[in-house]
Amino acid sequence: MIFKTKRVLIVASMTFVAVMLYQWGHLDGREGKMSGLIGESIAAENPLKMSPVKARARDFYAPNSEDLRPDEMRLIACGTGMPTARPKQAASCWLLELGNGDKFIFDIGTGSAERISAMQIPYNYLDKVFLSHLHTDHFGDLDALFVGGALAGRQKPLRVWGPSGGTPERGTKYAMDHLRKALTWDLDGRMGLTDPRGYHIEPHEFDYKGMNQIVYQENGVTIRSFPAIHSLDGPVSFSVEWNGLKFVFGGDTFPNKWYDEYAKGADLAIHECFIAVPDLITKFKFTPQSALAVGTQIHTAPEAFGKVMSRIKPRMAVAYHFFKDFDTTGSIYERIRTTYDGPLSLAEDYMVWNITKDDIRVRLAVVDEDVWPPPATEKPQLPDPSIRIPYSDMISGGKLDVKDVIQPIYDEINKKYKLNEKQE
């Protein structure tokens, strides 16, 4: 059909864009962003209704710019990718914020610490980590959160909850104890230089075989765990219940009867959805045999993800653990839709879900890549110089004498802050 007027052509183009936005918005679970874009297009035809000075409603989430309502959950994807590193997607990490002020991190996979920092949240509020299992793509950035968080203002120990293993050395406590040992040089080198209170890990190991067991209960929040099926004995899934809302994080798991039972009634349910088997072969160069084993037996195929969600029927299903690219996303979506037709988000880094009893709003965050650490929530504790570990005579003897150029810096700081610090 040939359109005869410019106005009709514009409307037709808008209709096409609207359809495309609906399809991809629905695919991503970002209907809020979709409707905002269409609304702006329509408003462009009525410029007199648009203020030249007043802000319009945002279609994105800007960290540190919105209040969290007392009855609201906010979930932020700080890592949605796979074990192999890429700039676009960190490995598994989910930041859950509650309207009562509590914040929880579920998994802290490789590359995710920088996504957490982009949220500009004081690190004293980020002291609770729950690990689904001990693959590095699920806890590989714990060292960065532990040490970097202490440097950036966490003035309390980092508390880590995680499952036991089939043997003691495969459990969370063993991993945390040995992570601390691996960081001996790092931590010893900071003694007497910074606030020491954050350089401690408190592991809370629980039985991975526990069925819907309570592993955390404080401030009206109940977190439960139940077994998952992945690689070895030990992985778990979590559910969070607060204020009549329920959030479920599956971690990595083959579809199982425990998730099927305990994830029912979830407002938002996350379950892994691995990349489609043909893409494992063409993109990752897996053999067909390996692709089938990894993509359908160790992980959850998109078709199986859909079957899981069609059984538990959450208000919003969230699929993750795949590389979300222009040439892979469509296949994953289509395969899910062969077994599930409910509300769906295909997760990507910086996706944000605001969850209330009345609505689930889905957007993407716009972040500042030049972010600095947020302010500490407490006054820093002065370090004790007497506990510093000194250099050896050989290393100390290698110092150049630059006291003449350093002294003006001491003079400047002493004057500004009314101190009397002296060079070593």
- Per residue in 215-266, pLDDT tens? 999 999 999 999 999 999 999 999 999 999 999 999 999 999 999 999 999 9
CB 228 within 8 A of CB 236: yes
Residues 297, 298, 302, 305, CA torsion sign: positive
User: Residue 5: what pLDDT?
Assistant: 36
Residue 274 predicted with pLDDT over 50 = yes
Q: In the prediction, which pLDDT does 7 show?
A: 33
248 and 266 in contact (C-beta within 8 Å)?
A: yes
- The radius of gyration computed from the CA coordinates of the chain, to the nearest angstrom, equals 25
In tens, the pLDDT along 345-403 reads: 999 999 999 999 999 999 999 999 999 999 999 999 998 999 999 999 999 999 999 99
**Could you report the per-residue pLDDT of 301-338, keeping only the tens digit for each?**
999 999 999 999 999 999 999 999 999 999 999 999 99
What is the pLDDT at residue 56? 85
- pLDDT on residue 46: 57
pLDDT at 18: 37
* Secondary structure (3-state) at 171: coil
pLDDT band of residue 57 (cuts 50, 70, 90) is confident
The pLDDT, as a whole number, for residue 48 is 61
Q: Is the dihedral of CA 228, 269, 286, 140 positive or negative?
A: negative
Please count the other Cβ atoms lying within 10 Å of the Cβ belonging to residue 44.
Answer: 11
Burial of 236 (0-12, 13-18, 19+ CB in 10 A): buried
What pLDDT shows up at residue 250?
Answer: 98
CA distances from 88 to 79, 261, 277, 284, 371 (A): 9, 34, 21, 17, 18
Q: Give tens-digit pLDDT for 172-202.
A: 999 999 999 999 999 999 999 999 999 999 9
Summarize pLDDT for 106-147 with one digit per residue, the tens.
999 999 999 999 999 999 999 999 999 999 999 999 999 999
Confidence of residue 47 (pLDDT cuts 50, 70, 90): low
pLDDT at 45: 53
Report the percent of the chain where pLDDT is more than 70: 89
- Band (41; pLDDT cuts 50, 70, 90): very low
Rounded CA-CA distance 35/43 in Å is 12
Q: Which residue has the higher pLDDT, 158 or 15?
A: 158
pLDDT tens per residue, range 27-36: 444 433 333 3
Tokens 């969230």 belong to residue:
318
For tokens 């606030």, the residue is 195
Cα 36 from chain centroid (whole Å): 25
Q: How far apart are CA 377 and CA 364, in angstroms?
A: 27
Q: SS3 for 335-370, per residue? A: HHCCCCCCCEEECCCCEEEEECCCCEEEEEECCCCC
296 alpha-carbon distance from chain centroid: 25
pLDDT at 44 > cutoff 80: no
What is the band of 3 on the pLDDT scale with cuts at 50, 70, 90? very low
CA distance 332 to 302: 6
